[in-house]
Structures are given as C-alpha cells and as structure tokens.
C-alpha cells in the first residue's frame, strides 16, 4: 500500500510511521505543516528509507493536497492542533486545522478515490464520565475548544462517509505516552522539568483521572483498524490504566528519584474534565491486545527522555 500520513512529524504520527516501515512493505508519504509541534528530527532515522517521503504542506491548503495525495491507497490523518491548554488560550487555529483542515482532506481524498481514510481522534470527545466507560455509540459531550474541534472533525469525516462513501474509520484513543512527545504535555513536561531539577505544576486538586496508553500500543490499534476495521465504524483504543494526575506525578517523582517537595500546586485548568474512560471491546474483538505494562512503559519512557536531552532541550526552550 501507499500510505499518506498527515501530522507524522508530531508525536503519535512519527511513532506510527516508524511502526509501518518496520512491520510492512508499505510506502509512506508524510504530509506535515511543521507547526511548533512538528519536528523533522522525530523522523530522522526514517529519512534515508527508500519507502519514506516527506512533503511540507498544510491540510487546509486544497491545492497542495490535490498535488500530493492522489495515487495513495489510504490516508491516516493525525494532523491536528492537540494541546488543550493552547485551545483555551487560542481556539481559532484548532477550528481551522481540526475542522476546516479535516473537511478539506476528506474532500480531496474522496475525489482521489482512496480505499481507506483513518481519522485519528480522542476519548476527550465523549466528555467527562463519572462512572463506567464510554462506548463508541455514546453521545459526544466535548467541553474544551480542543475536544469540541475534534468532535467536529469526527462528525465531518463520518459525514463524508455517509454522503459520499469515503471509506472512513475513526479511532479514539486515551492519553498516549512514550518517546517523541512534545514537552508541553504532562508526562514529558514533568519528566524534563525533573531532569532539569525544576518543580512540576499540578492542576487543581490533582484528582482528575486519565487512562494512559503506550503510543506503540495505540499505533498497533490504528494499524489494525486500517487493515481489518470496518468502514464507517469507530474504534476506541484504551489501556485500562486509569490514574489520577497525582498518582501519575508520584510515579514520575519516584522514577526520577524525587519527592513531593517538587510539586507546585497551580490553579485548575478552566473547564477541566474530571475523568475519561473508554470501553475497548470493539478493538479487542479485532484482535488488539495491550503489550505494554504501564509501570514498565513509563520507566522506559523516563529513560528515553533521560537519554535524549538533545532532542527535547531545544523544544523546551521554544515553548
């Protein structure tokens, strides 16, 4: 297959590109606008692979897509503005890229006749859930500009399926962790602060709950959805590793040899959702199994950041 992967200079997409090149014979084209979150060095080890191609382009730019996309078998669409805090400060870019950009690439992909369009989404579209777990058929209740723009993009992509038959599959994963995550998100932010002997800012009472899925496990799930998923369907990908932010922080403090004195309590994030939890029966039925034990995966991740200072130091400086 020839895969057109948007946003693969970012965290999950770069891990997915690496996964595809190492497990299949597929050719890939990475299409990325290289925003602050996109970094060519995330793909450095792939650049010399003859099955790898990079195009600097924006998903809101129809003519750039019309030039680059035709001839590909499938689109795997990661490109998005992805940081909730930034969406609270400046929502415009989130609506532009996540909604307008998704609509543009769906339209171009439909006219190009792709065989699969995998739209990458998030558990945040279901909103906060006090008890139980959200199923794919549950109503959407996004509450931040980020999650609202992602929910909008899911509906836009699925409307291209219902209306035009674009073969869309949506994946919604819980929070990912692992190598190459921009040091603004909680795990790399806290680890890199601690490696620099700086305190970590913890929101509110620290009791917001998130499920943590290793990025490699999410990539396996996305690839399974691409190759075995049913068109028009949504698949949750989660790991059952639900932790409060305080529990997560304690583990990171322990793994870096620090204690609670390194926590700075800060005012809660506006509209901070209390808990996300997703039901993963559908992706499990496709054959997905979680390979990473959370504690081992987190320890491995801390080690990666410890060994890759030259990767994150320049990013932290620009943040």
Binding site for ligand NAD (CB under 6 A): 6-7, 9-13, 32-35, 37-38, 58-60, 78-82, 97, 101, 120, 122, 150, 173, 175-176, 182
Q: E-strand spans in the chain?
A: 2-6, 27-32, 52-56, 74-77, 116-122, 168-173, 175-177, 200-203, 209-214, 234-237, 242-244, 263-266
* Cα torsion 175, 212, 37, 107: sign: negative
Question: At its nearest, how many Å lie between ligand NAD and the CB of residue 174?
Answer: 7
For the bound state, the minimum distance from the C-beta of residue 155 to ligand NAD, rounded and expressed in Å, comes to 15
- Structure tokens belonging to residue 174: 């819980």
Q: What angle do CA 258, 12, 206 make, to 5 degrees?
A: 40
* Residue 66 and residue 108 in contact, taking contact as beta carbons nearer than 8 Å: yes
Q: Please state the closest distance from residue 249 (CB atom) to ligand NAD, in A.
A: 17
- Residues 301, 307: Cα–Cα separation, whole Å: 10
Residue whose CB is less far from ligand NAD, 78 or 161: 78
Least separation in angstroms between residue 10's CB and ligand NAD is 2
Q: Which is nearer to ligand NAD, 21 or 60 (CB)?
A: 60
Q: Indicate the residue whose CB is closest to ligand NAD.
A: 10
| Of 114 and 213, CB closest to ligand NAD | 213
Query: Which CB sits closer to ligand NAD, 245 or 258?
Result: 245
Minimum distance, C-beta of residue 260 to ligand NAD, in the bound complex (Å): 25
**124 an active-site residue?**
yes
**Catalytic residue (choose from 27, 81, 136, 146):** 146
160: left (phi over 0), alpha (psi -120 to 50) or beta: alpha
Q: Which is nearer to ligand NAD, 5 or 262 (CB)?
A: 5
Catalytic residue among 27, 32, 124, 154: 124
Short-list 35, 37, 8, CA closest to 21: 8
Query: Cβ contacts of residue 121 below 8 Å, gap of 6+?
Result: 150, 153, 154, 170, 171, 172, 173, 234
Please report how close the Cβ of residue 86 comes to ligand NAD at its closest, in angstroms: 9
Is there a catalytic annotation at residue 146?
yes
Q: Cβ neighbours of residue 220 under 8 Å, at least 6 residues apart?
A: 19, 288, 291
Task: For ligand NAD, give the closer residue by CB, 38 or 221.
Answer: 38
Annotation marks residue 123 as catalytic? yes
| Active-site pick, 32, 81, 123, 136 | 123
Environment class of 111 (CB within 10 Å of its CB; exposed 0-12, middle 13-18, buried 19+): middle
Q: Any idea which residues carry the catalytic annotation?
A: 123-124, 146
């Amino acid at each position: 297959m020839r895969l057109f992967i948007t946003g693969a200079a970012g965290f999950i997409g770069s891990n997915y590109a690496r996964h595809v090149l190492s497990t299949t014979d597929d050719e890939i084209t990475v299409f990325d606008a290289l925003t602050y979150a996109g970094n060519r060095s995330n793909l450095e080890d792939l650049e010399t692979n003859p099955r790898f191609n990079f195009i600097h382009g924006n998903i809101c730019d129809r003519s750039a897509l019309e030039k680059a996309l035709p001839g590909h078998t499938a689109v795997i669409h990661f490109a998005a503005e992805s940081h909730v805090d930034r969406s609270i400060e400046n929502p415009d870019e989130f609506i532009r890229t996540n909604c307008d950009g998704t609509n543009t690439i769906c339209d171009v992909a439909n006219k190009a006749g792709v065989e699969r369009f995998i739209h990458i989404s998030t558990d945040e579209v279901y909103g906060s859930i006090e008890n139980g777990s959200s199923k794919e058929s549950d109503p959407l209740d996004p509450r931040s500009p980020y999650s609202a723009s992602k929910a909008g993009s899911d509906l836009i992509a699925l409307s291209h399926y219902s209306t035009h038959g674009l073969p869309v599959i949506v994946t919604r994963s819980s929070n990912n962790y692992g190598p190459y995550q921009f040091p603004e998100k909680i795990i790399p932010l806290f680890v890199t602060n601690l490696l620099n002997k700086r305190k970590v800012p913890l929101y509110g009472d620290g009791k917001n709950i998130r499920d943590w899925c290793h990025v490699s496990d999410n990539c396996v799930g996305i690839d399974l959805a691409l190759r075995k998923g049913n068109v028009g369907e949504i698949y949750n990908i989660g790991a059952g590793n639900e932790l409060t932010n305080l529990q997560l922080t304690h583990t990171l403090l322990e793994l870096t040899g620090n204690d609670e004195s390194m926590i700075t309590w800060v005012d809660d994030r506006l509209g901070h959702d209390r808990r996300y939890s997703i039901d993963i029966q559908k992706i499990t039925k496709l054959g997905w199994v979680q390979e990473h034990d959370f504690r081992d995966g987190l320890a491995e991740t801390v080690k990666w950041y410890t060994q890759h200072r030259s990767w994150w130091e320049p990013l932290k400086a620009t943040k």
